[in-house]
Amino acid sequence: MPELGWTQIFTAMAWQFLPVWLGMLATFAVSVAFKRRLGLYGKLYDSPVGMIGFGMVLFWVLTAIFAGQIITHDPLTQLSGMKNALPGLPVRDAKDGIYPYYLLGGDHLARDVFSRVVMGARSVLSIAPAATTFAFIMGITLGLPAGYFGGRLDTALSFLANLVLAFPVILLFYLLVTPEIQQTGTEIPLPFTDATWRSSIPNVLAAVLFIFPVIFVTVLLNSRFFTNPRQRNLYVGATLVIGLWAYAGLAFNADPLGVWSMDPNLLNVFVSVVFVNAPTVFRIVRGIVMDIKSRDYVAAGQTRGEGPWYIMLWEILPNARGPLIVDFCLRIGYTTILLGTLGFFGLGVSPESPDWGSTINAGRKLLSSFPHPAVVPALALMSLVLGLNLLADGLREESLKD
């Protein structure tokens, strides 16, 4: 078969991304039709910068969702004769069911660059938003009482946050993500099961950090339905059952049903992202609360006899959503860059992972002769972070109009 030209390569890639184009078209059509009912998200469609950023982010989100349908080859499979293959080179001895071309060429291990970049979007977007969400929950849970009550609680929590922030981020990541750190600590038998739990630093941090979502949702529902005991007991009970079940599986790998679990390498990365980002979120939330708690509507809530957690979670937090949403988008971008940096240094989820950092590292030594294995994932990483930054700018612009 003849090699493909660049026009044919881009046409073939555009066809492979057909599910993404259809998903984007449907999302934009529905969102524009109902944008006046969608709050801040609907107002985003009035911002050209925000629309461009949202489109770029949506492209990669849908790519991660439909990655299995978009890829042309298994991202881990090595095909004979395709080492450092140039873009558009036909696959030798292609069998039935194998795509006949490496659209963006092959890497140094004869793996398809196009498929690895597409599957890398799933690898990145399965970690960065979830870890950032955990960091925000922890930062909000601690930042609200620190800013609202002040005093010794604020002093102690602020000291701990500053202690973490004073440590160099990259060095802290390096120390927490190295595989050898999982071998520290001792084996501790878990009650009611034959499993054991190793008290390594990442596992101890996971046991502390992963309990915060359970605490946050429990306090949120309890403060909201405090005057309705029946609903409160139902919602809080369901939250505790599901939350502690997930907590046991993720933090201690002790889920008897095997629904909740996390690979040790992924646990290292996840815990590191949460631990590094939470203090910054704490400081942002604390500062916002200290400003908002002097507003008239907070004083009105205190006069009505509302509890402090109700005021913090249902009066102050909703009015702080604008800056927090903007920072959330920016922080996902920062986390994406950090994950790429870790992968570049060989500290990603796994050595053979198709995450963009690992792919860039694998292709960097061949830049002079075969630049595509490193350039393509670098452009993908850049476009996602740029989209998140533009989306944050659009959200900031529209939130200021509230």
pLDDT digits (tens, 9 = 90+) for 295-352: 888 888 888 888 899 999 999 998 888 889 889 988 998 888 888 877 777 776 666 7
Task: Say whether pLDDT at 290 is over 80.
Answer: yes
pLDDT at 98: 78
**In a 10 Å sphere around its CB, with 0-12 CB exposed, 13-18 middle and 19+ buried, how is residue 40 labelled?**
middle
Q: What is the pTM of this model?
A: 0.87
Give the separation between CA 100 and CA 39, rounded to whole angstroms: 47
What is the bridge-based pairing of β-strands 101-102 and 89-90? Answer: antiparallel
Percent of the chain with pLDDT over 70: 94
**Contact (CB, 8 A) for 317 and 144:** yes
pLDDT band at 398 (very low <50, low <70, confident <90, very high): confident
270 vs 237 pLDDT, higher one? 237
- Residues composing the chain: 402
Give the separation between CA 204 and CA 29, rounded to whole angstroms: 46
37 vs 344 pLDDT, higher one? 37
Alpha carbon 333 to its chain centroid, in Å, reads 9
3-state secondary structure of 188: strand
Give the separation between CA 134 and CA 212, rounded to whole angstroms: 8
Where do the domains of the chain lie?
6-122+355-399, 128-331
Would residue 34 be called left, alpha or beta, if left means φ above 0 and alpha means ψ between -120 and 50 degrees?
alpha
Q: What is the mean pLDDT of residues 388-395?
A: 90
Most confident of the ranges 77-86, 151-160, 251-260, 392-401:
151-160
Q: What is the mean pLDDT of residues 99-125?
A: 88
3-state secondary structure of 20: helix
Q: What is the mean pLDDT of residues 249-261?
A: 82
Cβ contacts of 348 within 8 Å, gap of 6 or more: 265, 269, 339, 342, 355, 357, 358
> Per residue in 176-196, pLDDT tens?
777 677 677 777 777 766 667
User: What is the enclosing helix (H) or strand (E) of 190?
Assistant: none
Task: Say whether pLDDT at 399 is over 80.
Answer: no
pLDDT band at 52 (very low <50, low <70, confident <90, very high): very high
pLDDT at 312: 93
Cβ contacts of 125 within 8 Å, gap of 6 or more: 60, 61, 64
Task: Say whether pLDDT at 161 is over 80.
Answer: yes
Q: What is the mean pLDDT of the chain?
A: 87
**Contact (CB, 8 A) for 347 and 178:** yes
pLDDT at 40: 80
pLDDT at 25: 96
Tokens, residue 80: 């004979």
Please state which of the ranges 183-192, 212-221, 266-275 shows the lowest mean pLDDT: 183-192
pLDDT at 77: 84
Cβ contacts of 132 within 8 Å, gap of 6 or more: 273, 277, 328, 331, 332, 335
